[in-house]
Copies of this chain bind each other. A is one copy, B any other.
């Protein structure tokens, strides 16, 4: 992802946007983009979602990218190594949701 990150930084700096990209504003933008991604599936049932994913693949791809761009920039600005952070979080999740208890349980997060 190094090439992607270099480009995100350059894109921002060419436009002198670092002044707006403090952690809070980036987190705000991540939520906004995540909601736009979710909007792709608003009101749809499983079959309609499956169809939409086939017919609007590029649009969904763009919405996923929008979330990713701000998330990568936030991690970068905070000096967070995203790969390491994900591994550490998965370690923690593995403790919280042991296979034998969590297997096939949908209500995992609210009931555990």
Give A contacts to B, CB under 8 Å. 1, 3-4, 7-8, 11, 14-17, 19-20, 22-25, 27-32, 34-46, 48-50, 52-53, 57, 60-62, 64-69, 71-72, 74-75, 78, 80, 82-83, 85-90, 92-94, 97, 99, 102-110
A-B complex: 7 closest residue pairs judged by Cβ atoms: A35-B35, A65-B89, A24-B41, A65-B85, A27-B38, A34-B34, A16-B104
**Set of chain B residues within 8 Å of A8, measured between Cβ atoms:** 86, 90
In the complex, the answer to whether B75 meets A30 with C-beta atoms within 8 Å is no
A99 and B1 alpha carbons, distance in the complex (Å): 24
Q: Are A48 and B106 in contact, CB atoms less than 8 angstroms apart?
A: yes
| Minimal beta-carbon separation of A27 from chain B (angstroms) | 4
Complex CA–CA separation, A48 to B23 (angstroms): 11
Are B107 and A78 in touch, CB under 8 angstroms?
A: no
| In the bound complex, CA of A57 to CA of B88 (Å) | 13
Q: Are B90 and A68 in contact (CB under 8 A)?
A: no
Which residues of the partner chain B approach A43 to less than 8 Å between Cβ atoms?
20, 25, 29, 106-109
Query: Would you give 18 A-B contacts (Cβ < 8 Å), ordered by A?
Result: A4-B87, A8-B86, A8-B90, A14-B103, A15-B97, A15-B99, A20-B43, A28-B28, A30-B37, A30-B67, A31-B31, A42-B109, A57-B78, A61-B78, A61-B80, A62-B85, A64-B75, A69-B89
